[in-house]
Amino acid sequence: MALPRDDLSLAFVNTRYWRGRERPTETLAAPGDLAAWWTAETGEKIPAPEPAFFAAALELREGLHRVFAARAGEAVPAAADVERLNAALAQAPPRRRLAWAGDGLDWHMEAAGAWEGVRARLLWSAADLLTGPRRARVRQCDNPECRYLFLDASKAGNRRWCDMASCGNRAKAHRHYRRRRAAEAG
């Protein structure tokens, strides 16, 4: 199994979005949705997980969200969330050896099942991102309704919006509206 890109964990966290709204949008409503998401992200087809694994995956996702959101806000993550992440990492299959994977070397993992491997790869992705050179580039969209997490790849490192075409333009339009209303009132 190939080691995923380090932002795979952010993609997983963002399977629930518009987190600032009363009812966030949930894309993982059933175990089959998780399998479809994994296939779309990695190209690997695997069967839907058991319901217990699915519930645990959603719990993991929410814990990762809290840790990444704290990091994006330059705050210290809750100790309980870091402890849960460490406990999950301790149970994940270790990365002990490299193997040839297509056009290069990659980590070889000995997982008991497909979903154990998925969980491990999500955990490794999160840990690598939280400790790696791009950790300071984790951002959360400034739109208080959105709160989407992303990696800021801008040269200046000051990107504020998940997407300029959606949240960024909404903020610009809102500022323009407020300025116009203030000018009309004054």
Cα dist from 131 to 2, 35, 43, 139, whole Å: 20, 27, 26, 15
Tokens of 94: 């270790």
pLDDT tens figures, 79-127: 999 999 999 999 998 888 888 877 788 777 887 788 999 999 999 999 9
- Can you give the pTM of this predicted structure? 0.85
Which domains are present in the chain?
8-185 (1.10.3300.10)
**Which amino acid appears at position 150 of this protein?**
F
Task: Specify which residues 105 forms β-bridges with.
Answer: 100
C-alpha–C-alpha distance, residues 50 and 115, integer Å: 9
